[in-house]
Amino acid sequence: MKRVTGIGGILFECEQPSEMKAWYQQHLGLQTDDYGTNFEWRHSDDPSKKGFTQWSPFPKNARYLKPSNQSFMMNFRVENLADLIPVLKAEGVTVLDEMEVLDYGKFVHILDPEGNKIELWEPMDEAYDLIVEGRTK
């Protein structure tokens, strides 16, 4: 069973998310919106398929990044999240929540041995593409 297939996103806390997004847009050319930005890429084994990696600044002490005390959260793309969750539990991994199913993918959160929160995302890239396209129009 494949587990992690790539980086799904970089999520981090900062003092002023709006100003941070504006700085990255002005100086590094990121096309930001309310959520940050995303990077589109192609699957190496099937270049006709798109993939996305999200970049999102959050306000300090964002609940979304808790219970970790870190100011960041890694998001990893995975395959077959429903099958992976019981395997992780059997291996003693702390699973923080139930799998959430949204229009653009399935999510669950785990903790690594030092308490860093990790988001696992089984993307539905086609749906995510439509959402991203709608946000940028």
Tokens 């439509």, located at residue: 130
pLDDT for residue 124: 87
The DSSP code for 33 is B
Class level of CATH domain 4-136 = alpha beta
Taking only the tens place, the pLDDT of each residue in 41-50 is 998 888 998 8
In whole angstroms, what is the distance from residue 55 CA to residue 78 CA? 17
**Domain ranges for the chain:** 4-136
Residue 55 has pLDDT above 90, yes or no: yes
Taking only the tens place, the pLDDT of each residue in 78-117 is 999 999 999 999 999 999 999 999 988 999 999 999 999 9
Amino acid at 47: P
